[in-house]
Structure 1
Amino acid sequence: MLFVRKSPQLNIEISNKIPLSTFSKLSISSWVKAKDPSTLVKLEVDATDIIVAIKAFNKKNKCSISLTHYVAAIMSKCLNKHNDLNRVLLRNRLYQRKNVSIFFAAFVKSKKWGTDLSGVTLYKCEDKSIVEISKEVEEKVLQLRRDQDPAMKAVRRLVKPIPNIFLSLYLKFFEFILYTLNWPLTLLGLPKDPFGSVLITSLGGFGFETVYAPIIPLSRTPFLVCIGKPHLKPWVVKQEIVPRNILTITFTIDHRLLHGVQGARPYRLFKRLFNNPDEILKKLPQNH
């Protein structure tokens, strides 16, 4: 008996169930949690011209797009074009997601709560320009840092009274509701599909040039993207070695949902889009 209701009130909006290959069946059964089957990919890209293009675009359009927003817009296009990457694992079965949603990690510091790691989620990113992504992230992060984010308040309210010794069981209960029954917990103040299709974190601001991070088991997010700090490095340009601003992007991938053959084409698409800012840095719509 499956617990996916035909009602639109689902935690994650899914459509058809994906047939499992033999590899998928074995890997899903072998690796119970996403902490086990992580595959790590490192990509170094020349960001010299991209940084210049972003600065010029920001100045012209009076916005504040960053490399994080740039990478997010590219990921949205990749997942939308290659939707076999935009899937979720529920009850040891693969389901197709209906939309591309992106979680942006954010560090929060306050006198009341101290330093904490949280984030904001954007939904239906395939329909949003990079300008819209940038503005929405800024607004939500500002709300988060002002302690006005309802989702963060709900999480703290639900977690605070639980002793640490019981917290693991407590989280398993929520995991069962969210990802086995696929029911949202909006009545408790929690957002639907809180971690989205991909999780993006930028640690370049802290001085890290290369970072690898683990997938959060509770998230059911198959991709985690880490963006480092651009740094000068010898680079071959037109058969000459010159100093260029190199950006390191790492991908932590849930191998149960994706293998090398599936990832090859979107990987090439990501690199092509990164090096073609005109496809990402679209002009502001008239109503902005």
Structure 2
Amino acid sequence: MKHIKYKSKLKLSPWRKISLGSWKPKGDSSTYVFEDFNVDKVLVFCKQQSISFNSFVIKALSSTINKNNRINSIVRFGNIYQREKNTIFIHTLTNRTKDDLSGVLIEEAFSKEIKEVDIEFKSEIKKVKKGEEKHISSKRNFKIIPAILSKYTLDFLSFLMYSLNIHINLFPSPKDPFGSVMLTNIGSLNLQKAFCPIAPYTRIPMVVSLGRIELKPTILNNEIVKSNISTFGFTFDHRIMDGIHFSKFIETFQSFFSNPKLILK
């Protein structure tokens, strides 16, 4: 059984082949970018719609990926394949007092109403808090694996699931368990900004960190005013994307914050 449904592989330019061959997948292909977002309009919009700020970001990110689907890709055997599904993985703390981290998956958020995304996201978070998360079986099975073997186990499972595209039941989990892009709300931990690493075994092309919202001085109509600002950190795989691709990605993403009503379309 196939683990992930892929579209046909991309036709590679000479430069893309050089990019694929230049960096290993473990760390040195990562590119890091900070971007400040004025979220004044979004906060008002979220209050009007009775939705969470996180839900808005999830749909905005999914919609951006849908319009810039180059990012929704994976490297397999020296080629780039685009995923068919558009899924956002959101890191979630199961319990603030325990050393445990999990996540929820929201599929095809771009095609859903924003309130539907909000209801689904909040429902999935509640399941995690209750111990009913989708990744619970995999985490239980990992308890029996010695720590010294964890890296080799993760690398082997990653090879089976992503390179060979085989779905296995040894460690039951959703297909493509880490989604198209990871989103982590570091602001919930009272952190202003951070770059988050891409875990090699996840085979994701990007991690997005959402920093805490702060009042900062900005310039509006040649006047200094106070605005709610959140700093987003982006870590993306340079083998898949260059600056030209990322600039288009950011331009689309920023448009939802400049005009939140675009999220309703």
**Aligned residue for 1:120?**
104
Q: What TM-score comes out, normalization by structure 2 length? A: 0.93
Partner of 2:118: 134
Consecutive unaligned residues of structure 2, counting only runs of 5 or more, are: none
Q: Look up the SS of the partner of 1:257 in the other structure.
A: coil
Between 47-56 and 182-191, report the one with greater CA deviation. 182-191
C-alpha RMSD over aligned residues: 1.8
1:185 is displaced (CA, Å) by 2.3
Partner of residue 218 from structure 2, selected from 235, 244, 258: 235
Kept in 1, the 8 Å contact 2:63–2:110? The answer is yes
- The within-5 A match list for 1:1-288 is 9-58=1-50, 65-109=51-95, 114-149=98-133, 151-186=134-169, 188-281=171-264
The 2-side partners of 1:279 and 1:212 are apart by 28
Residue 142 of structure 1 aligns to a residue whose secondary structure is: helix
Cα distance in 2 for residues equivalent to 1:119 and 1:213: 15
Match of 1:94, SS state, is strand
- Aligned mates of 2:250, 2:69 — CA distance in 1: 13
Assess, with a 3 A threshold, how the Cα gap between structure 1 residues 210 and 110 changes in structure 2: closer, same or farther.
closer
C-alpha distance 228-179 of structure 1, shift in aligned 2 (>3 A): same
Deviation at 1:116, TM superposition (A): 0.8
Structure 2 counterpart of 1:118, one-letter code: S
Listed one character per residue, the Cα deviations across residues 24-75 of structure 1 (whole Å, up to 9, x for unaligned) are 22232232224221111111121122212211211xxxxxx22222122111
1:22, distance to aligned residue in structure 2 (A): 2.4
**C-alpha displacement of 1:187:** 6.0
Gaps of 5+ in 1: 1-8, 59-64, 283-288
Aligned equivalents of 1:237, 1:159: Cα separation in 2:
52
CA contact under 8 A between 2:210 and 2:232: conserved in structure 1?
Answer: yes
Given that 1:185 and 1:192 are in contact with CA atoms closer than 8 Å, whether structure 2 keeps it comes out as no
Aligned residues: 265
Residues 208 and 228 in structure 1, CA contact (< 8 A), matched pair in contact too: yes
- The answer to whether the 8 A contact 1:103-1:120 is kept is yes
- For 1:29, the aligned partner's letter is G
Identity fraction in percent: 33
Aligned residue type for 1:138: K
Separation in structure 1 between the aligned mates of residue 25 and residue 216 of structure 2, nearest angstrom: 37
C-alpha contact 1:185 1:191 (8 A) present in aligned 2: no
Q: CA deviation at 1:146?
A: 0.8
Instruction: For residue 78 of structure 1, give the secondary structure of its aligned residue in structure 2.
Output: helix
For 2:191, give the aligned amino acid. F
